[in-house]
Structure 1
Amino acid sequence: MRTVEEINHRIRQGQVKVLTAEAFKHLALEVGVTQAAKAVDVVTTGTFEPMESSGAILNLGHTDPPIKIRRCQLDGVPAYAGFGAVDLYLGASQIAESSRVGEGLETEDVRERGGGHVIADLIAGKPIQLRAVGQVTDCYPRASLETTITRETINQFYLFNPRNLYQNFIVGVNGGDRLLHTYLGPLQPRLGNAVYSNPGALSPLLNDPHLQVIGIGSRIFLGGGIGYVAWEGTQHFPLQKRLPNQTPIGPAATVALIGDAKQMDPDWVRGCYFKSYGPSLMLGVGVPIPLLNEEIARYCAVQDAELVAPVMDFSIPRRVRPTFGLVSYSQLKSGQITIDGQKVRTAPLASLYRARQVAEQLKDWIAAGQFELTAAIAPLPSDRSFLSQDRWGSQVNLS
């Protein structure tokens, strides 16, 4: 029906028709997919959730005399320094080893702060204490460095996230007798609660199940700024089993994302901590779906009642856990599901309220001519299998 360039022309002319995913789904129910597809150019999706496989690349700039950093801490959080002399990678889930001088934090308080908090503070313009040890060489004679940095006093500062936007995920429950602290948060014993992390029908990749329009080079909303799909994400598994509507029944496709952190908004990038599990990063991500044809529109019309996720029992400490079957996202969002005849309350790990705000803000950017779409320069792989390490060896003690 239309091309990306035609849509961008309509954006520049102020004539584009754009709706959030929820609004488009309501329209499709009212007038049918065919008419809805004719009336709308772009659908905006969004999520705001913890994305621990995220991190930031920083270039500090050279000192005088120069230093080749080999070990480094940012506000007590170790950053990886195994490449350029003053290039660092700070992982969102890296745990702090020490606190700022004079803060007097207890060890447990320190460990509740991590890479995600430092990234969020840098984006917010806050000063960060840097301590580094260098490898002394003829061209890098400096042995150590202690200073304070901000996002304005360093060169590059951008997010590069190896795995974001799971196309679908699991529902966590606990069939055991003790409280479990997990990456989904606390799971109460004896099926006391169920936690799901994906926003369902709002989820970017569930609205494009075969990644027909989302690919390498796709422009997105990332942390309140502009970002791009850089590559397939780690654990990308497009071969996951699917329903007749082509949506996966569990964890499937993922994407790697990149974006300039200096342009991001601290309102959409927040450090967080999961008790007895570790730190992470809450991140707002929105993806526009150009309705190039009716098939894409049909996928965007999918409802929460037509999307399912597997219920997994975390009390079994194995990679492959038993399931209690599949539940729909409409059931999950109702606040209660039934497992083996027992009613179990549910809660989302993603903020559905803020996910709606992401989709709404992206819609406003497009409608105002502030955000144009990009066609993918290459598709994401459709044939990746999912490998485990079960057959490669036994446990070893590295302590």
Structure 2
Amino acid sequence: MRTIAEINEKINNQTVVVWTVEELKVRVAEVGVTQAAKEVDVITTGTFEPMESSGAIINLGHTDPPIKIRSCWLDGILAYSGFGAVDLYLGATQSVDYERGDGLEEESKERGGGHVIEDLIAGKTVHLRAIGQVTDCYPRASFETTITRDTINQFYLYNPRNIYQNFIVGVNGGDRPLYTYLGPLQPRLGNAVYSNPGAISPLFNDPNLETIGIGTRIFLGGGIGYIAWEGTQNFTLQKRLPNQTPIGPAATLALIGDAKQMERRWVRGCYFKNYGPSLMLGVGVPIPVLHEEVIKKCAVQDKELVAPVVDFSIPRRVRPTFGLVTYAQLKSGRITIEGKQVRTAPLASIYLSRQVAIELKQWIGAGKFTLTERVAPIPSDRAFLPQDRWGATIALE
């Protein structure tokens, strides 16, 4: 029906028709898939959720005399420095270095790399302390200063694993509270927490990644980003329903984008009690309506998507499950597990996920954001390999 070049011409002429994925689902219910496909050119999707496998590449610029940084702390948080002399990678989940906390107050101990990334994006000042490896060409032994996003060279996010295609629902069948990457889980099935925003999430609406691939331009943190590669733990061989959506964690994407373009509203450091820091991130993916099948996939509803309920009280890689529940059940506020009504809550902000899709729609409609052809597909044959070894011993508390 259409090509990306034809859609981009409409975007440049500001004659393109763009709907959010929620608007598309409503329209399909009114007029059907075929008619909706004739009316719309681009569908926008969005999510705003914790994405802990994220981080920032930072180039500081050279000092005089030069330094070859081998240890570096940003507001007391260790940044990786084992490559270029003044290149750093700050991981979103890196926490305050307790031995080298630079005299930070106790309340700062809940800060992590995600908070420093947020502060830099917001234009705030960040304290930097570095120790160098002294060489003939890099004679400086140490360096201390403050930086902002305007006093450094490159500052971009490179996130090895973002926007899971699906995820799990966490519960706790044990007798004590558990503190997890899904937040606190209350004992004896006291609550259930899910991460994915469901039917508005990007990868649920293109389950086989037919329009999404390496090189796809996206909304990332309030700026323009790109899909750089498959994400770590990309597991496209996950079991799927007849509508091709996965029943658990499946595809993931590695994302990249210029953090100097980003907005604090869409990149927020966060902390999970007794677990650690992370990063809340807004990501929006445009789906070009190249043919009618695209609309059929985007019409999927929360009642047609499922996630496994996993018991975190069993401290093993493979945990028992209580079966599958739909996202419609999760969003209702309660699910039933073994006859018991259990309260549910999302980690993702449904409201902000919706706002990401709306803002991306506005960019496209105003001619500020064009689509890209993918340069390669995301691999579709990835198994999920465990790190088990014969004879390995496991110590469990």
Report the equivalent of 2:77: 77
Structure 1 counterpart SS, 2:370: coil
Instruction: Mark the CA change 1:381 to 1:26 in structure 2 (over 3 Å): closer, same or farther.
Output: same
Residue 22 (1) aligns with residue 22 (2): yes
Q: Which amino acid aligns with 1:274?
A: F
Structure 1 counterpart SS, 2:388: coil
> Is 2:44–2:287's contact at 8 Å kept on the other side of the alignment?
yes
Residue 219 (1) aligns with residue 217 (2): yes
Note the 1:156-167 alignment, pairs <5 A: 156-167=154-165
1:238-291 deviation line (CA, Å, top 9, x unaligned): 000000000000000000000000000011110000000000001000000001
Deviation at 1:111, TM superposition (A): 2.6
Deviation at 1:396, TM superposition (A): 7.9
> Is 2:76–2:102's contact at 8 Å kept on the other side of the alignment?
no
Q: Which amino acid aligns with 2:94?
A: Q
Residue 336 (1) aligns with residue 321 (2): no
1:306-355 deviation line (CA, Å, top 9, x unaligned): 00000000001011010100000001001111011100110000000000
Structure 2 counterpart SS, 1:46: strand
Residue 285 (1) aligns with residue 283 (2): yes
Report the equivalent of 2:143: 145
Q: Which amino acid aligns with 1:68?
A: K
1:131-166 deviation line (CA, Å, top 9, x unaligned): 000000000000000000110001000000000000
> Is 1:100–1:129's contact at 8 Å kept on the other side of the alignment?
no
Structure 2 counterpart SS, 1:332: helix
Structure 1 counterpart SS, 2:376: coil
Report the equivalent of 1:134: 132
> Is 1:48–1:283's contact at 8 Å kept on the other side of the alignment?
yes
Report the equivalent of 2:41: 41
Report the equivalent of 1:93: 93
Q: Which amino acid aligns with 1:47?
A: T
CA distance, structure 2, for counterparts of residue 395 and residue 95 of structure 1: 28
Structure 1 counterpart SS, 2:255: strand
Report the equivalent of 1:237: 235
Deviation at 1:384, TM superposition (A): 0.7
Normalising by structure 1, report the TM-score.
Answer: 0.97
Q: Which amino acid aligns with 1:167?
A: Q
* Structure 1: gaps (5+ residues): none
Deviating runs (4+, > 4 A) in structure 1? 98-103
> Is 2:77–2:101's contact at 8 Å kept on the other side of the alignment?
no
1:70-108 deviation line (CA, Å, top 9, x unaligned): 0000000000000000000000000111587565x12xx
Report the equivalent of 2:52: 52
1:341-381 deviation line (CA, Å, top 9, x unaligned): 10011000000000000000000111111110111011110
CA distance, structure 1, for counterparts of residue 238 and residue 299 of structure 2: 21
Report the equivalent of 1:310: 308
Residue 351 (1) aligns with residue 376 (2): no
Instruction: Mark the CA change 1:237 to 1:178 in structure 2 (over 3 Å): closer, same or farther.
Output: same
CA distance, structure 1, for counterparts of residue 239 and residue 102 of structure 2: 52
CA distance, structure 2, for counterparts of residue 382 and residue 159 of structure 1: 25
CA distance, structure 1, for counterparts of residue 152 and residue 392 of structure 2: 44
CA distance, structure 1, for counterparts of residue 230 and residue 205 of structure 2: 17
Q: Which amino acid aligns with 1:375?
A: E
RMSD: 1.2
Instruction: Mark the CA change 1:395 to 1:85 in structure 2 (over 3 Å): closer, same or farther.
Output: farther
Structure 2 counterpart SS, 1:385: coil
Q: Which amino acid aligns with 1:148?
A: T
Bigger mean CA deviation after superposition, 58-67 or 386-395: 386-395
Deviation at 1:237, TM superposition (A): 0.4
Structure 1 counterpart SS, 2:377: coil
Residue 68 (1) aligns with residue 68 (2): yes
Report the equivalent of 2:123: 125
Structure 2 counterpart SS, 1:284: strand
> Is 1:97–1:110's contact at 8 Å kept on the other side of the alignment?
no
User: How many aligned residue pairs are there?
Assistant: 394
Structure 2 counterpart SS, 1:45: strand
Structure 2 counterpart SS, 1:137: coil
Q: Which amino acid aligns with 1:37?
A: A
Deviation at 1:110, TM superposition (A): 3.3
CA distance, structure 2, for counterparts of residue 390 and residue 89 of structure 1: 29
Residue 300 (1) aligns with residue 298 (2): yes
Q: Which amino acid aligns with 1:52?
A: E
CA distance, structure 1, for counterparts of residue 368 and residue 327 of structure 2: 33
Q: Which amino acid aligns with 2:28?
A: A
CA distance, structure 2, for counterparts of residue 19 and residue 335 of structure 1: 28
CA distance, structure 2, for counterparts of residue 233 and residue 97 of structure 1: 28
Q: Which amino acid aligns with 1:212?
A: E
Report the equivalent of 2:112: 114
Deviation at 1:392, TM superposition (A): 5.5
Q: Which amino acid aligns with 2:93?
A: S
Structure 2 counterpart SS, 1:147: strand
CA distance, structure 2, for counterparts of residue 20 and residue 6 of structure 1: 20
> Is 2:20–2:357's contact at 8 Å kept on the other side of the alignment?
yes
Q: Which amino acid aligns with 2:149?
A: R
Normalising by structure 2, report the TM-score.
Answer: 0.97
Structure 1 counterpart SS, 2:213: coil
* Structure 2: gaps (5+ residues): none
Structure 2 counterpart SS, 1:158: strand
